[in-house]
Structure 1
Amino acid sequence: MEQATISVGFLLFHGFPMACLTSMIEPLRAANEISNTRTFAWRLLSEEGGTLTASAHVDFETDALGAPGEDYIFVLSSPTATFRTSATPAHLRAFHRHGGTLGAVSGGVFPLVKAQVVGAHRIAVHWCYRAAFDAQFPDLAASDQVLEIADTVMTAAGAAAAFDLALHLIEDRLGPAIAAEVACWFQHPMMRRGDVVQAIPVAEAATALPPLAARAVALMTADMANPITVGQAAARLGISPRHMERAFKAATGLGPTRYFRKIRMEAARQIVLYTNDPIAKIAGQVGYGSTQTFAKHYEDAFGMTPAQDRKRINLYRVEGNLPVPSL
């Protein structure tokens, strides 16, 4: 019996991460070749059709979003992508309402959420965008998993996770043997599912810290807008502030106050770069009552004030028509 063709649309925005696109298309192509079928077909879509430029400055020709219909539509974009027309989110809502499956990879979760289609579904958000996502969508369930797969909404937190998402589609339609062979073709070591936490650079990961320091970081970052003091964290852990100081110095070379400031600054930079929130609001989101103190600490961390950093990135976007960075 001939396998029915599954049509996949990739809705692209200027500056979309090219690796995320190829990480989905290539496994689907390989699955067709290995199974000697035309199980998967795909189209590149955009809001109005025409040429779009990827983050790697490579141009892609696209069809305008619309008929013929797809079974799946995956949004690929930077986190700063905006809809050019209200017809696009309306089309996505109608597609979803009539049984189509929507998804997004990396920064594509931002326009997907703005289209008001995700409902109560958990969203896999790349760690690099997590603070900006939480700032824009505080009521949504962001996830630190590499994949979040439901019947009608699928999200992947980056290019490698997009490959896993493609393997999931292949396994669902052609079985685990074909999915395993596709993974072997590309020397993809394993098919990750929805219970795998994203890898984060070791220097930034609280999970890489000794247990005592990791628990302290969890306490101090639980509500970044209303941070507790080192003394309060130590009291909750049943240790002295001096003991916590020694633990952090041994593990990181920094005291807990400076380490926590580093985490706050990294979160703040995401919000500065990937939202339009006023600087004063961002200061409050990471626990600063004084915008001046926030700006000073930001400049100490990154060599420029938040306003200068945002201006620099926005200038690049205007001149190059590209977001920075796109993952």
Structure 2
Amino acid sequence: MTRVGFLLIPGFALMSYASAIEPLRAANVLTGNSLYRWRHISIEGGDIVASNGVRIQADASVADVGRMDAIIVCAGGNPQTFDHAPTMAFLRRMARHGVRLGGVSAGPFLLARAGVLEGYRCTVHWEHIPAFTETFPYLQLSRSLFEIDRDRFTCAGGIAALDMMHALIRIAHGPSVASAVSDWFLQTEVRRGEVAQRLSPTERFGVHHPKLVRTLSRMEKNIEQPLSSSRLAELAGVSLRQLERLFARHLRTTIGRRYAQMRLERARLLLRQTTLPVGEVALATGFGSPMAFSRAYRERFGLTPRQDRAVG
């Protein structure tokens, strides 16, 4: 029997949690054996409230968990603001005792903050990637659905946890049990860990012109040091006038406006998910000065960066 502790952080994503725990229950039911037993762990005892208001009753707190084989951290919202020393100490203690550690959705962020992901491949939900890379630039972060690296396993969250649990059950109990669990949940296609988290650029941007799609992808990858419009056109193999026409025809905007929108959206994530000073956020999103950044930010969102951070 594998004893699994689900460490639920207030505001955790219910979908990610359910996708991680339900396959364990299914494995027990389908095999007729108690392959897994689980406990719900809170940071201080009592009920834990998910992001949608659902309450889960805790079986233990980080102070009195008992013996576990694995701990899965479920978190959501803004993990950068979570600062609970006993929880960080608990995760480090579990690591020292050889307990396998996992995280779903924003859970990997907390594992990183506890210092238990150094030397391991890991992943996190795409929404948290900008903040994660700014905060932990030395970690081996991938953009995959999930990563299993020795005694660490991390997942981007959502229904991707189903794919990760399939892989973990397969490792522990073989392909037939894992396939039976996936089949029970009508999971007709089990995705590999290295599959990308997000929709393809064509689907996300709603355009099909290959040169335009490649240009938008380049813009996303060059936020801190934006490429000039002429350079984007050169890389796309078209004239600047042709590229501007593509943006006008397919996106009803200009290259400059779309690029600014991407950079400001990245800035908003950094403001809400990190404690980086506003000036550093400005530099990380390609703005030459805090004043120019603040002016552009206010025009886009109706608030200054500091006002938006306070609201978020």
TM-score by length of 2: 0.89
1:84 match? 84
State the 1:260 CA deviation.
Answer: 1.2
Secondary structure of 2:41's aligned partner: strand
Larger displacement relative to structure 2 (148-157 or 44-53): 44-53
State the 1:221 CA deviation.
Answer: 4.0
1:240 match? 239
1:325 match? none
Secondary structure of 1:75's aligned partner: strand
Distance 1:148 1:241, change over 3 A: same
State the 1:122 CA deviation.
Answer: 2.5
Q: 2:61 is matched with which residue: 61, 64, 72?
A: 64
Secondary structure of 1:80's aligned partner: helix
Query: What is the one-letter code of the residue matched to 1:32?
Result: N
Counterparts of 2:218 and 2:225 in 1: how far apart (Å)?
Answer: 11
State the 1:209 CA deviation.
Answer: 5.2
Secondary structure of 1:239's aligned partner: coil
For 1:87-128, what per-residue CA distance to the aligned partner results, in whole angstroms no more than 9, with x for missing partners? 432332232233221111111121110011111323222122
Query: What is the one-letter code of the residue matched to 1:69?
Result: R
State the 1:52 CA deviation.
Answer: 1.8
The alignment's C-alpha RMSD in Å is 2.3
TM-score by length of 1: 0.86
State the 1:216 CA deviation.
Answer: 2.7
Q: 2:27 is matched with which residue: 20, 25, 31?
A: 31
Larger displacement relative to structure 2 (70-79 or 234-243): 234-243
Counterparts of 1:304 and 1:23 in 2: how far apart (Å)?
Answer: 37
Query: What is the one-letter code of the residue matched to 1:84?
Result: H
Does the Cα contact within 8 Å between 2:109 and 2:124 map onto a contact in 1? no
Does the Cα contact within 8 Å between 2:80 and 2:275 map onto a contact in 1? no
Secondary structure of 1:52's aligned partner: strand
Q: How does 1:34-183 map to 2 (within 5 A)?
A: 34-62=30-58, 63-65=60-62, 66-78=64-76, 79-85=79-85, 87-183=86-182
1:323 match? none
Secondary structure of 2:159's aligned partner: helix
Query: What is the one-letter code of the residue matched to 1:114?
Result: R
Distance 1:234 1:211, change over 3 A: same
Counterparts of 1:217 and 1:170 in 2: how far apart (Å)?
Answer: 39
Which structure exhibits the higher relative contact order, with contacts defined as CA atoms closer than 8 Å and separated by 6 or more residues? 1
Counterparts of 1:159 and 1:73 in 2: how far apart (Å)?
Answer: 18
Q: How does 1:11-26 map to 2 (within 5 A)?
A: 11-26=7-22
Counterparts of 1:169 and 1:221 in 2: how far apart (Å)?
Answer: 33
1:317 match? none
Counterparts of 2:173 and 2:140 in 1: how far apart (Å)?
Answer: 31
Does the Cα contact within 8 Å between 1:93 and 1:116 map onto a contact in 2? yes
Counterparts of 1:54 and 1:293 in 2: how far apart (Å)?
Answer: 38
Does the Cα contact within 8 Å between 1:20 and 1:105 map onto a contact in 2? yes
Does the Cα contact within 8 Å between 1:124 and 1:142 map onto a contact in 2? yes
Counterparts of 1:74 and 1:46 in 2: how far apart (Å)?
Answer: 12
Does the Cα contact within 8 Å between 1:220 and 1:229 map onto a contact in 2? no
Counterparts of 2:283 and 2:205 in 1: how far apart (Å)?
Answer: 23
Aligned residues: 308
1:322 match? none
Residue identity (%):
35
Distance 1:136 1:178, change over 3 A: same
Counterparts of 1:168 and 1:306 in 2: how far apart (Å)?
Answer: 42
Counterparts of 2:291 and 2:164 in 1: how far apart (Å)?
Answer: 44
Unaligned runs of 5+ in 1: 314-327
For 1:11-57, what per-residue CA distance to the aligned partner results, in whole angstroms no more than 9, with x for missing partners? 11111112211111111111100000000111111233222211121
Counterparts of 1:179 and 1:309 in 2: how far apart (Å)?
Answer: 45
Larger displacement relative to structure 2 (16-25 or 184-193): 184-193
Secondary structure of 2:106's aligned partner: helix
2:258 match? 259
Counterparts of 1:173 and 1:309 in 2: how far apart (Å)?
Answer: 46
Counterparts of 1:290 and 1:283 in 2: how far apart (Å)?
Answer: 7
Does the Cα contact within 8 Å between 1:125 and 1:157 map onto a contact in 2? yes
